[in-house]
Amino acid sequence: MKQQGNFLLLEKSEFRDWLNKQTVTRKIKTLQVHHTWKLNYTTRKNQDPFDCLEGMRRSHLASGWSATGQHFSILENGLIGVSLDRKLNNAPAGIKGTNGNAICVEIIGNFDKGGDTMTEAQKLSVIHLYACLAISSVFSLTPIT
């Protein structure tokens, strides 16, 4: 676990323990999932993970948002970034009209047709994060299979 500025970087193995220590008072019923598209494996090559996360934050602030738009970001190496300026008790800036009861996850990469192919480490962290959110007593998410 490493913290720098407005972000915490967690290994997949650290995420569940961190999540279960959080206190969330608002009802969470929706998981919003996005990919970064423009910020992709090529544009991110050799970029420090904290620089990547801070760059997104600066972009969001420049757009007039109050903080980083998403709660969590999953990098291609499998690290999970936690946006410390977007508290879990605050709605994300993810999908207009549906933010109130949501948690937002941003997956780093362009996964449109012809774009990036998700790394195995990133896939495993995506699945792990979703599972942790689904089984956590902190949230009221009901998986639909």
Condensed to tens digits (0 to 9), the pLDDT of residues 35-85 reads: 998 888 898 888 899 999 999 999 999 999 999 999 999 999 999 999 999
User: Among candidates 81, 92, 93, 85, which has minimal Cα distance to 122?
Assistant: 81
Retrieve residue 133's tokens: 């959110």
Neighbours of 145 (CB within 10 A): 2
Strand order in the sheet with 80-83: 2-4, 7-10, 80-83, 72-74, 102-107, 30-35
CA distance 33 to 77: 18
In percent, the amount of the chain with pLDDT more than 90 equals 72
User: How far apart are alpha carbons 113 and 93 in whole angstroms?
Assistant: 25
| 142 has a pLDDT exceeding 80 | no
pLDDT of residue 138: 76
pTM comes to: 0.92
Confidence class for position 145, pLDDT limits 50, 70, 90: low
Residues sharing a CB contact under 8 Å with residue 72, sequence separation 6 or more, in sequence order: 80, 81, 82, 83, 103, 104, 105, 106, 129
Give me the CATH topology for the region 2-15+26-135: Lysozyme-like (3.40.80)
Cα separation, 87 vs 64, in Å, equals: 18
Residue 95 has pLDDT above 80, yes or no: yes
Nearest CA among 135, 117, 125, 114 for reference residue 75: 125
Q: What is the pLDDT of residue 44?
A: 81
